Structure 1
Amino acid sequence: MPPRSPAEAAPRSAAGPDEGYRPDPRRWHALSVTLVVGFMSLLDVSIVSVALPSLQSDLGATPATVQWVVSGYALTFGLALVPAGRLGDALGRRRLFLAGLAGFVLASAAAGAAPSIGWLVAARLVQGLAAGCLAPQNSAFIQQLFRGAERGRAFGLFGATVGISTAVGPVAGGAILGLASGPDGWRWLFYVNVPIGVVAFLLALRLLPRGGSGGRGRIDVVGVLLLGAGALAVLFPLVQAEAGGLSRLWWLFAVGVALLGAFVAWERRVVARDGQPVFDPRLVTQTRGYGIGAALGTVYFVGFSGIWLVLALFFQTGLGYTPLQSGLAVTPFALGSASSAVVAGRLVERYGRRLTVLGLVTVIAGLAAAAGVLLLVPPSAAGWAIAPALLLGGVGGGLVISPNITMTLRDVPVAMAGAAGGGLQTAQRFGAAVGTAALPGLFYLVLGATGDDYPVAAASGLAVSVLGAAAALVLGVVDLRRNRAGDRDGADRAAGDGGPVPGERHGPDGVHSHGHAWHG
């Protein structure tokens, strides 16, 4: 018996995917709570990096061990995303969000009180696991609570949260270390999460909707193990890059590819048997826009995530900036990204993929201009001179992240929103892991080859970011052209039949979904 089509697999009534939807009067308040929690968990990816020297001296740790404070969090964060998304779909998003938030708060308190580096690393591993449980529920709640133009605005706010949290981590870390002076000042980087998390937990108990689980409660254990092992094999050498992981553990990449291939084969088998996969392959093969949107996000995050480490190295090591000064130097990007992401959320229903293409062109222009500034302007003036270029790049970045999230998830059924959101964010985490390993490595390579020419080394890192944005631009243009071609085909069929095609929905840039596509 052949596997059911996605339309059969995704629960929906004959009246359409939105039948029975009733706007929750507290949906915007609920969104505010999830965004604050999402900001806090994403901020912890980078906020600790400015405190590594004081951590190392205070706890008597080696450089390789203290690096696990950052990389361990990123590792468990990435590993948890897809399984946690599927668990939220199956068992209830509210339940998993509350459990993840409680774990995050407790792990933050444990990290702040850590008496040794081993304790701190263990707490950070648990903290990253809890953050990975939270992240896919954010996008899933948006799918569940909002429809139409409201969903675009909600994803705009979500995209702004992702962009700001990534960019302002060094600023926030430097500010906290500046206020909490002394050898134990780094502990407040973790303690600050506790009161915010407790308040958010109480609000989430009151505001988050009950229910929302669309699965049948069965978990694909074999799929979870295969995906986890494959992702671990690929990510582990990357997060250990600064400790020589790429040269020592390169063979894990081959193991990871084999395990991920086995995972795809297993998931197809589960689907063919009408089971409940941890990540349904049809999200990529049969859900319009999902596969190319995830690929676009992955290559964009290669440059987007890695460039902050390069600029931090340039300003702090090359120019002698304090962590706070270094963070303030890149603040224009965060400001531009925040403002444009919110606006893009309101425009995505009208302009669709064109916003992403425009944003990528703007990012390329801004980062290329920033590289030129570093090469041409005296280092003493670089912090001020680079601000307009970073602001331009940030405006473009805000037009990339939130519209791409909306376009990628718009045709995903609500019943699979958690797994789909987890898959998208996992792809972005892979891109971020590659970028944070490759760009600083290139920085040091160029630095050694040029005799400590910091501007050239930083400009080289920016050039790689430009290439990543250019690769994302190619994908965006391909998707835009495909959508327009599909729109013309739909119009031709409608003209030939004398009416619209049943089950077909048209949107911006010809984005449409047929009756065989999944609906949310």
Structure 2
Amino acid sequence: MTLPTSTDDSPTTAAPHLTRLGLLTLLLGASLSSIDFFIVNVALPSIERDLHASPATLEMVVAGYAVAYAVLLVLGGRLGDTYGRRKLFLWGVAAFGLTSLACGLAPGAWWLVGARVAQGAASALMLPQVLGTLHATTRGEGRARAVALYGAVSGVAGLLGQALGGALVAADPGGTGWRAVFLVNVPVAAAALLVGVHTVPDSRAERPARGDVLGTVLFAGALTALLLPLTEGRATGWPLWSVLLLVAAPLLGRAFGAVEGRAERTGGSPLLPPSLLREPAVRRSLVLGLPIFVGFSGFMFGFAIVLQQGLHYGPLKAGLTVVPMGLTQIPAALLVPRLVRRWGTRAMTRAALVHVAGLAVLGLTVLWSTPWSALSPLALAPGLLLCGLGQGVQLALYYRVALAAVPAARAGAGSGLAATVQQSCLAVGVATVGSLFLALVPGLGMRDAFVSALGVQVAGLLGLAGLSLRLPRRMT
């Protein structure tokens, strides 16, 4: 669920029309990376038992993927500008299949962590090309429908990931256990690669930007220095290296800003032009992503633990429990073009409030259940249905708001920044909301800790509702 991360502001070469099969192939590639971020959640208990992994290592299995993904997204977009988005998409799909195989064959916990980092890098190579190709090969209403469909698919992919992961772990095909959640990607990636060769049209920048090696290194260093200690610091007792990295993060960020500013002033090709952030509409659209993506990833991480360790659901039952969210999330996302015509950006406000209502119903259901161990998936369904309704509109509408906020001359760089914010927030969600939940469990118990984490997400969504009221009502 990313935006195109092309960082060149020049126009793109004319591209052939995107066929329905080509669109399906691109959406399949997009769903692979989103599914894989969440599919591992329900497999964590099995991984812990089989590989004797510590809690810190388990968090790295989840967050290592997201960190690598976020750090390399902008670079992946620039490579697509230079070498062609079709070629980079296909390379990314192939790399994703190979790294999924490496995850599935991992002999130890840290091998799995390393393979997950490589898998995140493959996603960063593949995903920037998807919406970039959609925008280069579609126009008008066709583009609006494609973006809405993209929002629906990428949003529900996270839910599908946990349901599919639970089914695969429970089925234990060929005695593979948790390894099946990674091995299933291999034939899907192979099919996408074979079909994509013939159906995905090519597009690239007419004047690809020159490389920004120093900017790329500083950007990657700043994000890593921020995200890595946030994901691992609490679980490892905040060792010295984590503190030093957090101290280094703002210094690296300032150095990156100075390098990019100099490149922009001297007519170079900065990875992310600093002037872009001076656009008020751009800043507002990026801030909207914080409560959406931090809350989503934190909720999915914590909810998977509650279902399996708190309620002692099996992997299949835990995975199927989240299906009601998908049942409303897909149609909600597909309705976004109609909602925008009727309410404009106020559709985001309403979606946030509906999501808050869903979390409130879910929290009250958890608190009022007596006994706690008797809580059933059917009892959780009403709250999850409401959450899916609000979430579906938020995810799809975010892309529309972000793209509308970026000036045409800055489309590539702006979408790259939005994509990086999105993926960073997914990692931060696990590191903050997820870690808060885990930290509260020993003192409050799992039920009250989960409700407290829901309260944090509610606060973020209320902030989202307030921020959305500051957006221009009409959208382009």
TM-score (norm 2): 0.90
Q: 1:397 to 1:388 in 2, by over 3 A?
A: same
Once the two structures are TM-superposed, the CA of residue 115 in structure 1 deviates from its matched residue by 3.2
Matched, 1:423 2:445: no
Matched, 1:51 2:43: yes
Cα deviation code 1:466-489 (max 9, x no counterpart): 11111222221111xxx2xxxxxx
Name whichever of 36-45 and 48-57 sits farther off: 48-57
Mapped partners of 1:510, 1:344: distance in 2: 14
* Among candidates 83, 88, 97, match of residue 75 of structure 2: 83
Give 1 or 2 for the bigger CA radius of gyration: 1
Any idea what SS the aligned residue of 1:357 has?
helix
Once the two structures are TM-superposed, the CA of residue 223 in structure 1 deviates from its matched residue by 0.8
Once the two structures are TM-superposed, the CA of residue 157 in structure 1 deviates from its matched residue by 1.3
Q: 1:327 to 1:241 in 2, by over 3 A?
A: farther
Maintained 8 Å contact 1:84/1:132: yes
Name whichever of 58-67 and 159-168 sits farther off: 58-67
Cα deviation code 1:298-339 (max 9, x no counterpart): 222111110112222222212111122122222211221111
* Among candidates 427, 431, 439, match of residue 437 of structure 1: 431
Mapped partners of 2:442, 2:141: distance in 1: 51
Aligned residues: 466
Mapped partners of 1:433, 1:346: distance in 2: 32
Alignment of 1:237-252 (within 5 A): 237-241=229-233, 243-244=235-236, 246=238, 248=240, 249-252=242-245
Which structure has more relative contact order (CA 8 Å, sep 6+)? It is: 2
Mapped partners of 1:449, 1:117: distance in 2: 29
Maintained 8 Å contact 1:144/1:414: no
* Among candidates 353, 356, 371, match of residue 364 of structure 1: 356
Matched, 1:279 2:266: no
* Among candidates 52, 58, 70, match of residue 62 of structure 2: 70
Mapped partners of 1:235, 1:444: distance in 2: 18
Matched, 1:202 2:198: no
Mapped partners of 2:420, 2:105: distance in 1: 30
Matched, 1:467 2:464: no
Name whichever of 420-429 and 357-366 sits farther off: 420-429
What letter matches 1:447 in structure 2? V
What letter matches 2:427 in structure 1? A
What letter matches 2:418 in structure 1? L
Unaligned runs of 5+ in 2: 1-7
Q: 1:245 to 1:199 in 2, by over 3 A?
A: farther
Matched, 1:103 2:95: yes
Cα deviation code 1:26-83 (max 9, x no counterpart): 3433221111111111111121232233334434544434543323222211111111
What letter matches 1:229 in structure 2? G
For 2:147, the equivalent position in structure 1 comes to 155
What letter matches 1:97 in structure 2? F
Q: 1:414 to 1:85 in 2, by over 3 A?
A: farther
Q: Percent identity?
A: 35
For 1:259, the equivalent position in structure 2 comes to 252
Alignment of 1:325-404 (within 5 A): 325-348=317-340, 351-378=343-370, 379=372, 380-404=374-398
Maintained 8 Å contact 1:89/1:416: no
Cα deviation code 1:317-376 (max 9, x no counterpart): 121111221222222112211110111145435643122122112111211221122112
Maintained 8 Å contact 1:159/1:401: yes
Mapped partners of 1:271, 1:411: distance in 2: 21
What letter matches 2:122 in structure 1? A
Maintained 8 Å contact 1:73/1:127: yes
* Among candidates 219, 222, 225, match of residue 230 of structure 1: 222
Q: 1:433 to 1:68 in 2, by over 3 A?
A: closer
Q: 1:247 to 1:461 in 2, by over 3 A?
A: farther
Maintained 8 Å contact 1:105/1:197: yes
Q: 1:53 to 1:313 in 2, by over 3 A?
A: closer
Matched, 1:117 2:109: yes
Cα deviation code 1:196-233 (max 9, x no counterpart): 11111122111222232244341111110110000000
What letter matches 1:405 in structure 2? Y
For 1:501, the equivalent position in structure 2 comes to none
* Among candidates 12, 18, 36, match of residue 26 of structure 1: 18
What letter matches 1:257 in structure 2? P
Maintained 8 Å contact 2:77/2:125: yes
Maintained 8 Å contact 1:140/1:414: no
What letter matches 1:250 in structure 2? V
* Among candidates 297, 300, 324, match of residue 316 of structure 2: 324
Q: 1:123 to 1:446 in 2, by over 3 A?
A: closer
Maintained 8 Å contact 2:222/2:253: yes
What letter matches 1:279 in structure 2? L
Once the two structures are TM-superposed, the CA of residue 88 in structure 1 deviates from its matched residue by 1.6
For 1:167, the equivalent position in structure 2 comes to 159
Maintained 8 Å contact 2:9/2:412: no
Once the two structures are TM-superposed, the CA of residue 187 in structure 1 deviates from its matched residue by 2.1
Cα deviation code 1:261-314 (max 9, x no counterpart): 22122212211112211122343334x743211210122211111011222222
Q: 1:69 to 1:10 in 2, by over 3 A?
A: closer
Name whichever of 462-471 and 382-391 sits farther off: 382-391
What letter matches 1:299 in structure 2? P
What letter matches 2:249 in structure 1? G
For 1:5, the equivalent position in structure 2 comes to none
